[in-house]
Amino acid sequence: MALVGLPLYDTQPSEVLSPTPPLLPDAATAFLKWRPLCHLQASHGWMNDPCAVSYDAEEKVYRVFYQWNPQSPFWDHICWGSAESTNLLDWTVSSAPVLSPQTLYDGKGIFTGCAVPPYSGKQMTIFYTSVSRLPLHYSLPYHLGAETLSMATSSDGGRTWARSAKNPVLGPDHLADLNITGWRDPFVTTWASMDKILERKEAGLYGLLSGGIRDTSPTCFLYDIDSTDKTKWNYIGPLMTVERKYRPSRWSGDCGVNWEVTNVLTFDKYDILLISAEGGAECNGKSSRASIWIAGSFQDTTPITMKYEFGGVFDHGDYYAANTFRDESLDNSIVVWGWIEERLSDEFIVSQNWNGTLTVPRIASVATISNVVGTLHSPIDQLTSFEAVKFDDHYELTTLGVDVHPRYVSSLRQRAEHSVVIPPVTFVRPGVVDCGISATSWELETEIAVSSSAVQVGVVALHSPDYAQQTRLTFCPESETFFIDRSRSGCGKELHAYDAPHTLFTTRAADGAETMEKLKVHVFCDRSVIEVFLNGRTAISARVYPDEGSCRISLFAENITGQTVEFSETKVWYGISGKATIE
């Protein structure tokens, strides 16, 4: 292992080990070259939004459905595929669609939908967007009736479905006077806060459909669902209206002009909307689509509405269309699945015959930081992704936390062929240290003690021996920003750098001692997918397409002037592969 364990170092790239990349089989090399080993994927073809995600407590199985085009690696003829798992790593994936366009009302596509809670047992009910006319886009005139709401039921855990005889159960005709930009992606949930407002003694069932009001606001439309006949949706009104492309600061996401796949995340004290927003201002080459969240408060209005209080970005990279469910096996935690699209040219996509993957399963939670007295630089009251409660001499900060599902992490580590603990490393001058690992699928954890200076620190992932090819994961304390630099990440298409605002907090203990938190970095790398989690509250993901020989991992520090940078021990698990059974 190159230079690991030295307390101080000043190493140059020429001193790293030669790579020993994993060999690909001769057959189907194009299909396998960048195909992830530890992410849920369709067997082939185009794949996008996760749908009707759930955990079946009776069967002890996770179920995920997804938009799928098995006929081509490009978007068209959208059906639903399905997958099941007991450990979130190994999946049984359908070889054929479980729900396909076949009627006048859904003949142009089975778009995103949701499962109706509770999920226990093989009896399932779903709602989905049934599409009868294309194209659909917020920039085009909207044709009422092109999208409708449909219901289906299953008695075998989603392997086969029976459409409701009442389909489509609802259309957007009641919104004709609003000039909407979209009306899709149903989400159904119980909602204690809504029950309280409506003074209900028994839990009700509520539905959201996402869209926008042209030239006015993106929004989601709220419905009250009849518990005795779930095909009856009573329209309440737009749940929230904000300015088009509303973005309070760099710490909060751009609300765009149209919403998709809006979910409600309910916690004891907070009601949060998780939103896929489109039509926002493009930044740093990033798509105008974004996965954002908004914490809102209910207003004394008729109909019921929510007001934007504070909000942020759920993922700052190639992530979209998040869908959620409650995991009864994990204290009813909220699990979030999203989609990461491909960043390859059409030529490569045709060659590999697949397109897109789902992310690792994540846990969304309320993250609270107490006794805060400072940040790296920004004034606390300017951090618009936090609720800041001020006390006499400190703050209590609250935001939406995000991390990886612990069952998935446990499954990965049990499956890893190798695990390495790299002793602490102290940098006294700029340099890079090779970790002595050659792998394309791995998990890494480390902590870094940094200051508010101009130092830059991080991980060089999937790099070649000479560093000509690399993906650089960099934290810049001075700008309070974490970057994924993809300028040398291989042959992908439009591999722009992604950045996420992230700061570190100084807290004061009871004895008056002040301590700045360390940068906690948790990375999941899976051939062409990198997902980074920082301090349990910031996530950023990206697609990369390195050559086979670019499979090294290094730690680095730059711009060190009169100080040191300390990496705590770094843990790496590698040689990991999930199992996919096609049925």
Report the 3 state secondary structure along 247-281. Answer: CCCCCCCCCCCEEEEEEEEECCCCEEEEEEEECCC
| Fold category of 8-22+418-582 in CATH | Jelly Rolls (2.60.120)
Strand order of the sheet with strand 147-154? Answer: 109-115, 124-131, 147-154, 162-163
Query: What local confidence, expressed as pLDDT, does residue 175 receive?
Result: 97
> Could you count the other beta carbons within 10 Å of the beta carbon of residue 313?
25
> Could you count the other beta carbons within 10 Å of the beta carbon of residue 468?
11
- Of 535, 520, 556, nearest to 447 by C-alpha is 520
With vertex at residue 351, the alpha carbon angle to CA 88 and CA 39, rounded to the nearest 5 degrees, is: 10
- Give, for 11, the enclosing helix (H) or strand (E): none
- Of 217, 158, 157, nearest to 182 by C-alpha is 217
- Give, for 521, the enclosing helix (H) or strand (E): strand 519-526
Q: What's the pTM?
A: 0.94
For 45-359, CATH number out of 2.40.50.140, 2.115.10.20, 1.25.40.10, 3.40.50.720 equals: 2.115.10.20
Long-range contacts at 9-14 (CB < 8 A, ≥ 24 apart) = 9/425, 9/427, 9/431, 9/433, 10/428, 10/429, 10/431, 11/431, 11/432, 11/433, 11/434, 12/431, 12/432, 13/432, 13/465, 13/466, 13/467, 14/466
Whether the bond into 73 is cis, omega within 30 of 0: no
With vertex at residue 81, the alpha carbon angle to CA 108 and CA 353, rounded to the nearest 5 degrees, is: 90
Query: What local confidence, expressed as pLDDT, does residue 28 receive?
Result: 61
Show Cβ contacts of residue 527 under 8 Å, excluding neighbours closer than 6 positions. 34, 35, 36, 37, 440, 441
Per-residue pLDDT of the chain (583 residues; tens, 9 = 90+): 233 333 332 323 222 333 334 444 444 689 999 999 999 999 999 999 999 999 999 999 999 999 999 999 999 999 999 999 999 999 999 999 999 999 999 999 999 999 999 888 899 999 999 999 999 999 999 999 999 999 999 999 999 999 999 999 999 999 999 999 999 999 999 999 999 999 999 999 999 999 999 999 999 999 999 989 999 999 999 999 999 999 999 999 899 999 999 999 999 999 999 999 999 987 654 558 999 999 999 998 999 999 999 999 999 999 999 999 999 999 999 999 999 999 999 999 999 999 999 999 999 999 999 999 999 999 999 999 999 999 999 999 999 999 999 999 999 999 999 999 999 999 999 999 999 999 999 999 999 999 778 899 999 999 999 999 999 999 999 999 999 999 999 998 888 899 999 999 999 999 999 999 999 999 999 999 999 999 999 999 999 999 999 999 999 999 988 788 999 999 999 999 999 999 9
- Of 441, 429, 438, nearest to 565 by C-alpha is 429
* Per-domain residue ranges of the chain: 8-22+418-582, 45-359
Q: What percent of the residues of the chain are helix, what percent strand, and what percent coil, each to the nearest 5? A: 5, 45, 45
CA 47, 50, 51, 55 torsion: positive or negative? positive
Domains 8-22+418-582 and 45-359 share a fold: no
Show Cβ contacts of residue 231 under 8 Å, excluding neighbours closer than 6 positions. 151, 164, 166, 169, 170
Whether the bond into 141 is cis, omega within 30 of 0: no
Q: Which residues pair with 445 in a beta bridge?
A: 522, 571
Q: How far apart are CA 420 and CA 26, in angstroms?
A: 30
Task: Please give the DSSP secondary-structure letter assigned to residue 198.
Answer: T
Q: How far apart are CA 546 and CA 544, in angstroms?
A: 6
Q: How far apart are CA 88 and CA 415, in angstroms?
A: 12
- Of 2, 5, 9, 6, nearest to 556 by C-alpha is 9
Note whether 64 and 53 are within 8 A (CB).
yes
